Structure 1
Amino acid sequence: MMISKELYQERARALEGMSLSAVWDVCCPNTEIWNDKFPFEKRKAFFFELLQRLMEDGKIKLAKHDQFLEGSTEEQIERYKKAFPKTEEEWKAKHEEVWFFLEECPGGAVWVLESGYLDWT
């Protein structure tokens, strides 16, 4: 586990209502290091761990074209991992954070607020 309980809680609060590109933007456990200095593979691992925990805690659902993705959290994360750019070079070729809005991205975040309201990003 790369993400401590305290860091997870801080990020979950700060990111509520944000798109997955914003989640990607904070995928470094050390706020003293800029994301572009944090190795791409570690950043991906952090992103997927954070996303999975947010989903398991019921804070986020994934959706595409106004439909929630089917399958377990693990299956959805696996689908995301398969679609995600494999290398930093591929990531940059996809114009980085723009990838989250491309058709090849499996889905975006829908935040489930405490009131039950679904905040589609």
Structure 2
Amino acid sequence: MPRVDPAREAPQPQTISRDLIDRGRERYGVFCTPCHGQDGRGGGMIVARGFPPAGDLTAEPLRRAPAAEIYGVIGNGRRAMFGMAQMIPSADRWAIVAYVRALQLSQDAVVAGLPPDDRARLEATR
């Protein structure tokens, strides 16, 4: 019986949609948050319990890294991180990369740089 190999690579999406980022956020929450934390800075609950420090996904070197490099690390691992290719299908790895890019942009964002409507919504939550 044929089955889909989750480790089989898929091409990088040509466009980033809201649905792709939403899928990436959901998959990031399942697979990445335990080590990298919700903010991506590497302070997840596994690290807090003594596992080796996770990489800061919002650090400048990773912001400059090509998307394919982040995708490759998710699949193959690096340093203390295990490769997740067998657990995270290729399309979901690309979705996680899209979400990580959005997460990077959201960290340390300047409120004054937001569009007026978004700034007003943010101010209303204070």
TM-score range, shorter chain: 0.3 to 0.5
TM-score for the superposition, normalised by structure 1:
0.34
TM-score for the superposition, normalised by structure 2:
0.33
Q: Higher Cα Rg: structure 1 or 2?
A: 2
